[in-house]
């Protein structure tokens, strides 16, 4: 059972990685949501028993390789994000969706800042203004993603229970 859940998380993050890598028009590219942190955040909220930080670490390494970033940069940022969200989880689950979205906005910003800082350490300075668009886009995308994934999960759970009853 837990292996199935881990597999689902792996698949979801793979889709997230694809969404992160996909080529967007120049106008939209700075406003691409942070798909991997978004899905890691959702996993922390919905299924914190999984080894989220470790899987996030692996996907961070894959992102580094694919983006040509210093190895460990995204891994470090994703592990830090996972840890922070696991710590905040107990408080966040009590809030309504829109409040969680607002509270998470500084978390995404922090994630972006960590990347910006590590880029600076690796002497690969990027335009800092391009860093804040994704954080804003992720804040907007959070309620939509959570609603969509929750709906999918609910439907599947109902089907499973119905099947069990039959």
Neighbours of 162 (CB within 10 A): 9
Q: CA nearest 117: which of 89, 80, 83, 86? A: 80
122 binds other proteins (CB under 8 A): yes
33 binds other proteins (CB under 8 A): no
Nearer to other proteins, 108 or 132 (CB): 108
Secondary element (H or E) of residue 122: none
Shortest CB 48 distance to other proteins, Å: 6
Shortest CB 10 distance to other proteins, Å: 13
The two tokens of residue 17 are 């990685």
Rounded to an integer, what distance in angstroms lies between the CA atom of residue 103 and that of residue 92?
8
Rounded to an integer, what distance in angstroms lies between the CA atom of residue 166 and that of residue 163?
5
Nearer to other proteins, 67 or 130 (CB): 67
Calculate the alpha carbon distances from 23 to 20, 26, 29, 132, 133 in Å.
9, 9, 8, 19, 17
Nearer to other proteins, 72 or 132 (CB): 72
Binding mask 73-102 for other proteins (x = CB under 8 A): x-xx--xx-xx--xx-----xxxxx--x--
Chain residues in the site for other proteins (CB under 8 A): 17-18, 21-23, 45-49, 53-54, 57, 60-62, 65-66, 70-73, 75-76, 79-80, 82-83, 86-87, 93-97, 100, 118, 121-122, 146, 150, 154
């Amino acid at each position: 059972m837990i292996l199935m859940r881990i597999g689902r998380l792996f698949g979801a993050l793979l889709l997230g990685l694809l969404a992160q890598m996909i080529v967007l028009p120049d106008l939209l590219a700075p406003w691409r949501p942070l798909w991997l942190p978004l899905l890691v955040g959702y996993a922390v909220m919905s299924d914190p028993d999984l080894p989220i930080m470790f899987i996030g670490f692996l996907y961070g390494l894959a992102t580094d390789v694919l983006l040509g970033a210093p190895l460990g940069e995204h891994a470090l940022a994703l592990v830090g994000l996972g840890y922070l969200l696991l710590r905040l989880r107990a408080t966040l689950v009590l809030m309504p969706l829109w409040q969680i979205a607002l509270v998470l906005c500084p978390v995404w910003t922090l994630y972006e800042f960590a990347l910006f800082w590590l880029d600076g350490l690796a002497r690969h300075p990027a335009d800092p203004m391009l860093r804040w668009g994704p954080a804003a886009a992720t804040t907007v995308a959070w309620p939509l993603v959570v609603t969509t994934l929750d709906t999918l999960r609910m439907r599947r759970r109902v089907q499973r229970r119905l099947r069990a009853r039959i």
